[in-house]
Amino acid sequence: MSRDEQGLDFSTVIASTVHDMKNSLSALIQAHDQWLARLPEQARSGSEQGVVEHEFRHLNGMLVQLLGLYKLGINQLPICPDYHELEDFVEAQLAAHQEVIRHRDVLATWRIDTESPLGFFDRELVASVVANVLTNAIRYAGHTLLISIEEEGEQLVISVNDDGPGYPQRMLERQQDYVQGIDQQSGSTGLGLYFAARIAALHERNGVRGRIEIANGGALGGGLFRLYLP
């Protein structure tokens, strides 16, 4: 019980500040949306608008990730898996990114090819990973991106594929280092991969842990992110 009486712990300070920042950003985003709705149609579009939407999502994703990493660090990130409708899950992820997708003029589609309409995972955690990957994919995509869910053996595979230039070669070669958090100079994308890998690994079944993989190619030829859930 002595924990409460310790002095200022900087990671706790960051965590509580991030929490407030998230609230503040939420208020900002919703106010912005409302304001936008009142503008004449013409003023609503434009590339600046795309930047604003994208950076909102990006900031939000980073804050979620930062809080998640903090909780992982102190072993307080709960995992609470349950059955979720896959279609619902994918639609919700795309809906959250709708404004950016529209402003970037990206055609986003999804495909589910599984026997069961349900998947078993922690919805909030997996959603935070997919949100970050989507933000990235939308940014780098040429015109299209595809979310697909399929089964590989006993595992559920959630993939995000785009038609952009793909991940840099160096990143593909060193993905294991990012995943293990070894490469400290990789910036936010590397951190994102680390976070995604940790979330994946929290999902475990009969000794098999979830994992992630990045590659170039896929149906659309660009970056291909894959999340394996046992």
Strand partners, 52: none
Residue 176, CB-side half-sphere exposure with 13 Å CA sphere: 1
Instruction: Assess 170 for contact with other proteins (CB under 8 A).
Output: no
Residue 202, CB-side half-sphere exposure with 13 Å CA sphere: 24
Tokens (6 digits) for 1: 């019980």
Instruction: Assess 211 for contact with other proteins (CB under 8 A).
Output: no
Binding mask 35-74 for other proteins (x = CB under 8 A): --x------------------x---x---x--xx--x---
Instruction: Assess 88 for contact with other proteins (CB under 8 A).
Output: yes
**Minimum CB distance to other proteins, residue 85 (Å):** 7
Query: Rounded to an integer, what distance in angstroms lies between the CA atom of residue 156 and that of residue 167?
Result: 23
Query: Which one among 120, 144, 172, 209 touches other proteins, defined by CB under 8 A?
Result: 120
**Minimum CB distance to other proteins, residue 121 (Å):** 10
> In this complex, which beta carbon is closest to other proteins, that of residue 34 or of residue 185?
34
170-192 burial, b at 16+ Cβ within 10 Å, e below that, comes to ebeebbebbbebebeebeeebbb
Q: Give the list of residues 6+ apart from residue 180 with CB closer than 8 angstroms, or none.
A: 194, 197
**Minimum CB distance to other proteins, residue 117 (Å):** 5
* Binding stretches for other proteins (CB under 8 A): 1, 3, 19, 22-23, 25-27, 29-31, 33-34, 37, 56, 60, 64, 67-68, 71, 75-83, 85, 88, 91-92, 95-96, 98-99, 116-118, 120, 123-125, 127, 204-205
